[in-house]
């Protein structure tokens, strides 16, 4: 908790921390939209191949990955908590989009996030 308090102690640090969270949330949302269209998450695919190159072992075994029936995004098909994590991070993207681009920016971000949360298939994330 002390590290979090230090990270947001000053306006400069708060802007940097929350801006970084917005960037991560936006990148994960775009990655999930690509996964919805292409069938695989480019972010997780990159991490998977990097792990294979370094250690020779996959992050997620192929038989477990084949069982995933919903969007898993950057967390991968063996860790189906993507919906809950993205729902929890969504305010960090929605607020800056509203401030910078007004209602249109907020609606665009909310539609993208909402679509991803529905496709992530986690009912818990729908109420978060």
Model confidence pLDDT, tens digit, residues 72-81: 888 888 888 8
pTM of the model: 0.85
The two structure tokens encoding residue 73: 């995004």
Return left, alpha or beta for 88; rule: phi > 0 is left, psi -120 to 50 is alpha, else beta.
alpha
Does residue 41 have a pLDDT over 80?
Answer: yes
CA trace torsion 21, 72, 65, 51 (10° rounding): -10
Helix/strand/coil for 10: coil
In sign, the C-alpha dihedral spanning 7, 24, 121, 91 is positive
> Which tens digit of pLDDT belongs to each residue from 42-64?
998 998 889 989 998 888 777 76
């Amino acid at each position: 908790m002390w590290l979090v308090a230090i990270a947001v102690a000053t306006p400069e640090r708060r802007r940097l921390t929350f801006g970084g969270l917005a960037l991560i949330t936006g990148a994960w949302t775009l990655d999930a939209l690509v996964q919805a269209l292409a069938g695989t998450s480019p972010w997780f695919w990159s991490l998977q191949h990097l792990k294979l190159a370094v250690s020779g072992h996959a992050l997620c075994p192929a038989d477990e990955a084949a069982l995933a029936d919903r969007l898993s995004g950057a967390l991968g098909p063996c860790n189906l908590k993507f919906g809950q994590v993205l729902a929890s991070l969504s305010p960090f993207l929605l607020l800056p989009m509203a401030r910078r681009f007004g209602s249109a920016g907020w609606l665009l971000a909310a539609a993208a996030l909402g679509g991803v949360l529905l496709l992530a298939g986690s009912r818990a994330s729908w109420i978060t």
